[in-house]
Amino acid sequence: MDIATLIGLIAGVSMMLWAILSSAELKTFVDFPSVLIVIGGSVCASLISFPLRNLLGVAKVIKNCVFARPPDTIKLIADMVRFAEVARRDGILSLENMTAEIKDPFIVSGIQMAVDGTDPDLIETIMTTELEAIESRHGEGKALLDALGKYAPAFGMIGTLIGLVIMLKNMEDPATIGPAMAVALLTTLYGAWISNLFALPLSDKLALRSREELLAKMIVIKGVLAIQSGDNPRIVEQKLKTFLPSRERVKVTAKAAA
C-alpha cells in the first residue's frame, strides 16, 4: 500500500472540510445539480473519448495507484546476481530448477528462454515487446485520469455559465439569485477539486509507478542477457547497478551477500 497517496487524499479532503466548517455549514457547499453537471459531464465526455472497457477499469487504475507496491530493485538485482552465480557454478541449465521459486513470470520467461538456448537478440526482442505492451497499458490508464482532470474543470465552467444564465434571466425575482449563484460557483469548485486533488495527482502517481515497473523489467532483461552470455556474477552486478542511484548501489552488494 502506498501510504503517501492515502495520506495525501485523506489530508487534502480533511483540510478542505476543516476550512469549510470553520466558517460555514457543510450544506452550504453541497449542491446536487452542480455535482451532476461536473461528475456526470466528465464521465460522459470520457465515454465519448475512450472505449467503455477503459472507463469500467478506472477502479483498477486507482487501485494500482494506491495499493501497488513499488518493485524492490535492490533485491531484484541481488537475485539476478544469485542466478548468475548458480549458472556460472552449475551451468545455465541448473536455473530451470529455480524457476519454481520465482514469483515474477517475466523473470521466469526470460530465464526459460535463456535455458532453452534461444538467440539473445530474439530474447531481447520478445522481452522488450512485452515491456512496450506494459507501457502502453499504463499509458491508457494515465490518459483516462488526465482526461478526467481536464474535463472536470471544463464542466465546472459550463456549470458556472448555466448558473449565470439562470441568474440573469431571473434578476427580477431576488429569491432565485442565491440558488443560481450557488450552482454557478459550486460547479467551478467541484471541478477544481476533482481535477487537482484526485485525477491529476493520481495520474502523476500512476506515471511514477509505471516508470518504476519498467525500470525493474529492464533490469531483468539486461540480467537475463548477461547470464546467458556467461558473464561473471560481479560483472552482472556492475552492469545492473548502473540502473540505480549511486547512494543505493552499495546496498546491492550487501543484499547479495546476505
With a cut of 90, say whether residue 53 has pLDDT above it: no
String of DSSP letters for 60-104: HHHHHHHHPPPP-HHHHHHHHHHHHHHHHHH-GGGGGGGGGG---
**Residue whose C-alpha cell reads 546496498 in the numeric block:** 251
Residue 205 lies in a domain: no
Range of lowest pLDDT (30-34, 166-170, 242-246): 166-170
Domain with 17 in it: 1-29
Which band of pLDDT confidence, cut at 50, 70 and 90, is reported for residue 23?
Answer: confident
Question: Does residue 4 fall inside a structural domain?
Answer: yes
pTM of the model: 0.83
SS3 category, 25: coil
pLDDT tens figures, 156-213 = 999 888 888 878 877 777 776 777 777 778 889 999 999 999 999 999 998 988 899 9
Helices (H) and strands (E) in the chain, counts: 12, 0
Residue 194 in domain:
no
Number of domains comprising the chain: 1
